[in-house]
Amino acid sequence: MHLEIEPVPSSFRKAIPHDVLNLAFGSVFTDHMFTMQYSGGIWHSAKIEPYHPLLIDPAALVLHYGQGIFEGLKAYRRGERIFLFRPRMNLERMNRSAERMVMPQINSDFVLSSLEQLLTIEKEWIPTQNGTSLYIRPTMIATEPKLGVKPSDDYLFFILLSPVGPYFKEGFRPVGIYVADQHVRAAEGGTGQAKTIGNYAASLLASTIAKQAGYSQVLWLDAKERRYLEEVGTMNIFVVFDDEIVTPPLRGTILPGITRDSVLTLLKHWGYTATERLLSIEEVLDGLTSGKIKEIFGCGTAAIIAPVGRLHYQDKTYTIASESIGPLSQRLFDELTGIQCGERDDPFGWVRVVNESG
Task: Report the 3 state secondary structure along 183-247.
Answer: CCCCCCCCCCCCCEHHHHHCCHHHHHHHHHCCCCEEEEECCCCCCEEEEECCEEEEEEECCCEEE
Q: Are 6 and 23 in contact (CB under 8 A)?
A: no
Is residue 138 close enough to count as binding ligand PLP by CB under 6 A? no
The size of the interface with ligand PLP (CB under 6 A), counted in residues, is 13
Residues 97-116 that bind ligand PLP (CB under 6 A): none
Comparing CB distances to ligand PLP, the nearer of 48 and 89 is: 89
Site map 181..200 versus ligand PLP, x via CB under 6 A: --------------x-----
Is residue 68 close enough to count as binding ligand PLP by CB under 6 A? no
Is residue 122 close enough to count as binding ligand PLP by CB under 6 A? no
Is residue 66 close enough to count as binding ligand PLP by CB under 6 A? no
Among 132, 139, 162, 301, binds ligand PLP (CB under 6 A): 301
Site map 258..297 versus ligand PLP, x via CB under 6 A: xxx-------------------------------------
The CA distance from 158 to 12, in Å, is 21
Comparing CB distances to ligand PLP, the nearer of 139 and 301 is: 301
Among 257, 287, 307, 326, binds ligand PLP (CB under 6 A): 257
Comparing CB distances to ligand PLP, the nearer of 70 and 241 is: 70
Is residue 234 close enough to count as binding ligand PLP by CB under 6 A? yes
Comparing CB distances to ligand PLP, the nearer of 30 and 253 is: 253
Is residue 300 close enough to count as binding ligand PLP by CB under 6 A? yes
Is residue 248 close enough to count as binding ligand PLP by CB under 6 A? no
Q: What minimum distance in Å lies between the beta carbon of 332 and ligand PLP?
A: 12
Comparing CB distances to ligand PLP, the nearer of 38 and 228 is: 228
Among 116, 122, 144, 231, binds ligand PLP (CB under 6 A): 231
Stretch binding ligand PLP (CB under 6 A), from 76-84, 229-237, 312-320, 335-343: 229-237
Is residue 321 close enough to count as binding ligand PLP by CB under 6 A? no
| Residues found near ligand PLP in the complex (CB under 6 A) | 72, 195, 231, 234-236, 255, 257-260, 300-301
